[in-house]
A and B are shown apart, each in its own frame.
Chain A
Amino acid sequence: MVRIYVSSVIDAAADTVWSRIRDFNGLPLWHPGIADSRIENSEASDRVGCIRHFHTRDGGMIRERLLALSDYDYTQSYEILESPMGVDQYVATLKLTPVTDGDRCFAEWTAEFECAPGRERALTEQIGAGVFQGGFDALKRHFARR
C-alpha cells in the first residue's frame, strides 16, 4: 500500500475555501490540471455515490466515485474507478481544518493505493507534487491577500 500525504495552509477561512472545492464536479473551476468534468447519469454532484468523469489537461480520462462528503468536517473522500495511472484500490481524502488564530485554514490531501512494483516513486511524485500540491498552490494563489 502506497500512502501520499500533502498539506498546506490557505489564507482564507475554512468555510470560504470549502465553498470553492466542495463541488465534486467543480475541479476544472479551481484545479489548473483539470480540463473538464461531468457527473454521470445526471446525478447531483453532492450525492454520495455519484461518479465524476473528467479529463486532465494532458488528455487522460479519469472516473471517480464520491465515497463521503461532510460539510461538518469539511471532508471529501473518493475512489478511482478508471484511470490511465495504473493504480488499484485508490482512495483519496481532501480535508480542511480551521486554524483559529487568523483567517486561514489547514488543508490536507491524502491517498492510499496499490501499484506495480517500482512505480511507487513516480506515482507519488505525479500525484503528490503534481495533483495535490498543484491544487493547493492554485488555492493559495486564488486566496492570496496581496
Chain B
Amino acid sequence: MLQKVVRSTIIDAPIERVWAVLRDFNSHDQWHAVVDQSRIEAGERSDQVGCVRNFTLKDGNRIREQLLTLDDRQYRSTYCIVEATVPLQRYVATVTLKAVTDGNRTFWHWESTFATPPGREQELREMVARDVYEAGFENLRRHLAHGGDLRTAGAAPLPVTLPLPTRRVRAVRYGGAEVLQPEEASCAPPGAGEVRIRQRAIGVNYIDVYMRRGWIPQLLAAGGAPGVEAAGAVIDVGSGVHHVAPGDRVAYLGHTPGAYCGVRSVPADWCVRLPAGVDDDTAAAMLLKGLTADYLLHDLGHVARGTRVLMHAAAGGVGLLVCAWARSLGAIVVGTVSSEEKARVAREYGCEHVIVTRDYRFADAVQGSVGGADVLIDGLGETARAENLKALARRGHWISLGQATGPLAALDPNVLLEKSISFSRPVVFDYVATRTALQERAQRLWTALERGDIRKPPIERIALDAAANAHARLESRATVGALILVA
C-alpha cells in the first residue's frame, strides 16, 4: 500500500524569493542541512525537466532524483527517486507554493507518495515528514533569513540595516508605578557582537520595581527603560556573531536594563536559543526566575534530600519554581504566602507546609512544623528581619534575595553568631556572567521543565504599553506566578 506524507508551512518571504530557491533542482545542498553534496548529472541545467540530481546525505546515504515537472506559473515542482540507498520505493514528491497576499508571505505545501519494505512504513513516513520536510522548512527559513539566497558569487552585499521604530516604556523619573510611560522610539541596527530582537514577551521582575524606585541607580539612571529579560525572534545580527542567526527564537537575560520595548539590540552573549517546546511567553516568564531558582538551590543552598527550605512569597514567580524544584530534589519545603488562594497554588506546586500570613509573622509556625529552616530564601527584607532570624535552624543559611518590604538595614555580624548563621546577598547576573554559564544553566532549566521536575508557573500577560499596571499589580501582592509584558 502506498504511503502518503503531507507537510505544509508558512514562510515569511514573498513567493518569488522562495520559488527562486526551490525551482533550482540543485540548490538543496546550500539550504537543507541533511544534504551534503549535490550535482546535476550529464552536465544538464538544474531547471531542465528530466534532469537528474545525484546527492549524498550527511548520514552517508546516496540518492538520485529526477525532475518530472517544473511549473513557473503554478509554482510547482514534481520529482521522483530513481535510485537510492534508502528503502523508499516509487517515491514521487510535489512541492507547491502559493502566495499569501495578506502579508506578502508564502504557503509551502510538500507531499509525496511511496512504498516501503513491510513493517517499515511508519518509520519511513516519519523520516520523510520530519527529517526531510519539516527540517527543510526550518532550514529554508534560516537560509532566507541569513540572506543565503542573495549571496551568490558576485552578488551585492546585503542591504545595510536601518533603525526600526518600536514602542518603549521608560521610567520618566524615579517613583511609583505611574512613572512608567510608553512612547515611540527607534532601535538602532545591531553593532559588533550584538543581535537585534523582535521581542514578543518581556519578563517583569521585582528588580525592575527596585530600579524604577531608584534603589539601584548604578543600573538604571532616571529616565531609563527597565527590564532585564525578554524573548522573541532575531531580526539581524552584527559582525562577529555566530551562535545565533536571523530567524532564531531566543531569550536573553542581561544586567543592563532596557527590555521594556518591542525591538532591542543586545549583546549576543546574553542570548540563549529556545528549544521548540519552550514558547516565547514561557521563556520570558521563566528565564530569570528559573536561573535564580537554579543557583539558589544548587549553588548557594546545596539543597538535597531532607534540607528544610523556607521560601517567602511561595506563590510568586520565583517561589513556585523554587518550591517545585526543591521538592523534586527531596527537600522539605515551607512557604509563606499572603492569601488562601496563593496557599492553594503553592501547595499545587510542591510546597508542603504553607503559612498564610499578611503581617510577616511566621517564625513560630516554621519552628513548629519543621524545627527551623536550613535554607531561607528571603524576598521580604527589613520588616521580616527578626522573624527570619527566629525561623532559621542552627547553621542555617539566610539568602537575601529581595527587599519587597524595604531595604535591609545594616546587619550586625553578632546576630549571626547566635546560631552560626550564614548570610548571602546574591544577584543572578553573577551566576550567568559568561556565555557558557548562561547556556549551561538555561539548558538545565529547559531540561528540568521537560522532565517535569518543575512546572511552568501561571503566567499573567499585560500589554507593553500598560507596564505601569503590571508594576502596580506586582507591588499590590495580587499576582500569582509570573507576569509578562506582551509586545
- Which residues of A does B touch, CB under 8 Å? 5-9, 97-102, 104, 106, 108, 133, 136, 146
Contact = CB atoms under 8 A, between A and B. Distances in A.
A98 B10 CA distance: 11
Interface in B1-47: 6-10
A101 B100 contact: no
Interface in B135-152: 137
B414 interface: no
B134 interface: yes
A100 B102 contact: no
Given A106-B98, A133-B102, A146-B461, A7 B8 contact: no
Nearest to B96: A97
Listed from nearest, the 8 A-B pairs whose CB atoms lie closest are A8-B102, A106-B107, A101-B9, A100-B7, A100-B8, A99-B8, A7-B100, A7-B101
B99 A5 contact: yes
A8 B8 CA distance: 14
Please classify the interface of chain B as helix (H, G, I), strand (E, B), loop, or mixed, using the class held by over half of its residues. strand
Contacts of A104: 10
Interface in B83-100: 98-100
Contacts of B455: none
A6 B101 contact: yes
Interface string B449-486: 00000000000010000000000000000000000001
B105 interface: yes
Contact of B8 (A97, A133, A136): A97
A97 B102 contact: no
A133 B102 CA distance: 8
A138 to B, nearest CB: 12
Contacts of B109: 97
Contact of A146 (B7, B98, B99, B486): B486
Contacts of A9: 10, 100, 102-103, 105, 107
Given A5-B101, A8-B101, A146-B486, 15 more contacts: A7-B99, A7-B101, A7-B102, A9-B100, A9-B102, A99-B107, A100-B8, A101-B134, A102-B9, A106-B8, A106-B100, A106-B107, A133-B102, A136-B102, A146-B461
A129 to B, nearest CB: 10
A146 B464 CA distance: 14
26 contacts: A6-B102, A7-B99, A7-B102, A8-B102, A8-B103, A9-B100, A9-B103, A9-B105, A9-B107, A97-B107, A99-B9, A99-B10, A99-B107, A100-B6, A100-B9, A101-B7, A101-B8, A106-B8, A106-B98, A106-B100, A106-B107, A108-B98, A133-B102, A136-B102, A146-B461, A146-B486
Contacts of B134: 101
Given A106-B8, A106-B10, A106-B98, A7 B107 contact: yes
B98 A7 contact: yes
Contacts of A146: 461, 486
B487 to A, nearest CB: 12
Contacts of B100: 7-9, 106
Contacts of B9: 99-102
Nearest to B137: A101
Nearest to B100: A7
Interface in B80-132: 98-103, 105, 107, 109
Nearest to B463: A146
Contacts of B7: 100-101
B381 to A, nearest CB: 35
A6 to B, nearest CB: 5
B389 to A, nearest CB: 46
A110 to B, nearest CB: 11
A100 B105 CA distance: 16
Q: Which of A106, A133, A136 has the most CB of B within 10 A?
A: A106
A7 B103 CA distance: 9
Nearest to B102: A8
Contacts of B137: 101
